[in-house]
A = this chain, B = another copy of it.
Amino acid sequence: MKRTTIKDIARQLGVNPSTVSRAMKDHPDIGLTLRNEIKQLADQLHYRPNHMAVYLRQRSSRLVGLIVPEVTMFFYPSVIRGIQNVLHEHGYNLIMLPSNESLEREMENIQICYENDVAGIMLALSRYTQTSEHLAMLEEVGAPVVMFDKILDGLPYDSIVLEDFESARLAASHLIETGCRRIAGIFGNPNLRITQLRLDGFRQALQDFNLEQHADLICFSDNPYDAEKCARTFMALDSAPDGIFAMTDEIIIGALPAIATSGKKIPEECSVICISDGFLPYCLHPKVTFLHHDGYEVGRLTAQRMIDLIESGQYVNKDYRGQKIMVKARLIELATTRRRE
């Protein structure tokens, strides 16, 4: 199956390819009669310009690379939706490059972006990316970079992040304000920046309210199964918590059933709060009050910033230092939390 090219049309009409090219983009040089004739034939032959050839001539592709650590069922689907919607509006296409949480793969993905001469790169770092050495290649690519969610401070790129510290602080504060005094927290992998920030925010809240910090009421878990164990351990404690904070969707989905079946009533004996992308808390039982970390919004903002950079060309300035955009979380109260006055 051969593609129809501009040449085919030119040949059939006995005109020059350049005339066809101009006619297709309504260049005033081409007479209306001929222009229509050309367009009609183009339509008839299903002519569509070859993006790659156009790119080669114009040196600007309409492909944008998206490098993510992994496509999990949490958070990333929303982000991708947000990104796609904005990108599509502006006529850009997405090339997806999961790093499988591997540093090596992350480098390779940047390489691939370079080979395809993408117009820009959107990047969430793998969990093993603690330094920026292997990111040197990003400079080479010469395309704007926007980082999101999993970022590294000190890099000269724009970034879109959620207010991790603040959300965790607010979540814990909400538990305290509604009467909880022994608050436990279930966190993710302690090596992640995001975990540290949320842990700090959590602790800040306890400190703000002059509550004692109990080391045995903090635990870390990489997945829902471990989170379930954490929750069971908490609930089996002699002095069990009267409030539990879960750092992510992945954690609450494991922890909630354990809490619910511990014998304690939710929220009368133990309140629960989490940080979530906003879908799960509505589905789970009992419904869980949460701070909405809106992945869709992060995706939209990331793509929006990407487009701005591409089209403004700001990033070519060597001195350009990206700014960090913080996305605020909103408290969504699905569960009444007890008030003990």
Residues on A facing B (Cβ under 8 Å): 1-3, 46, 48-53, 55-56, 61, 63, 66, 70-74, 76-78, 80-81, 84-85, 93-98, 100, 111-112, 114-117, 137, 139-142, 224-225, 228, 253-254, 256-258, 260-261, 279, 282-286, 316
Q: Considering the chains assembled together, what is the distance between the CA atoms of A117 and B51 in angstroms? A: 8
Q: B residues within 8 A CB of A258?
A: 285
Minimum C-beta distance from A44 to chain B (A): 12
B73 adjacent to A3 (CB under 8 Å): no
Q: Are B74 and A81 in contact, CB atoms less than 8 angstroms apart?
A: no
Contact of A116 among B93, B142, B284 (CB under 8 A): B93
Give how many copies assemble into the complex.
2
**Known contacts being A3-B117, A253-B283, A257-B284, is A93 close to B112, with CB within 8 Å?**
yes
User: Could you say which of B70, B74, B94, B285 contacts A73, with CB atoms under 8 Å apart?
Assistant: B74
A244 shortest CB reach to chain B, Å: 15
Contact call B224/A46, Cβ cutoff below 8 A: no
- Given contacts A46-B140, A71-B81, A225-B283, 11 further A-B pairs with CB under 8 A are A1-B316, A46-B137, A52-B56, A52-B117, A71-B84, A80-B96, A93-B97, A95-B96, A224-B283, A256-B285, A260-B285
Given A71-B77, A284-B257, A50:B117 Cβ within 8 A: yes
Q: Is the CB of B116 within 8 A of A52?
A: yes
Whether A73 contacts B63 by the Cβ 8 Å rule is no
Q: How many whole Å from A2's CB to the nearest CB in chain B?
A: 7
Q: How far is the CA of A332 from the CA of B85 in the complex (A)?
A: 37
Chain B residues with Cβ under 8 A from A228's Cβ? 283
List chain B residues, Cβ under 8 A from A74.
73
Which residues from chain B contact A114 at a C-beta distance below 8 Å?
A: 3, 48
Q: Which of B78, B81, B85, B116 makes the CB contact (< 8 A) with A51? A: B116
Q: Are A73 and B77 in contact (CB under 8 A)?
A: yes
Measured CB to CB, the nearest residue on chain B to A53 is: B56
7 pairs of residues in contact across A and B, judged by CB atoms under 8 Å: A3-B117, A48-B111, A48-B114, A76-B77, A228-B283, A253-B284, A257-B283
Tell me if B111 and A84 are in contact (CB < 8 A).
no
CA distance A45 to B85 in the complex (A): 37
Given A1-B142, A53-B56, the answer on whether A94 and B96 have CB atoms closer than 8 Å is yes
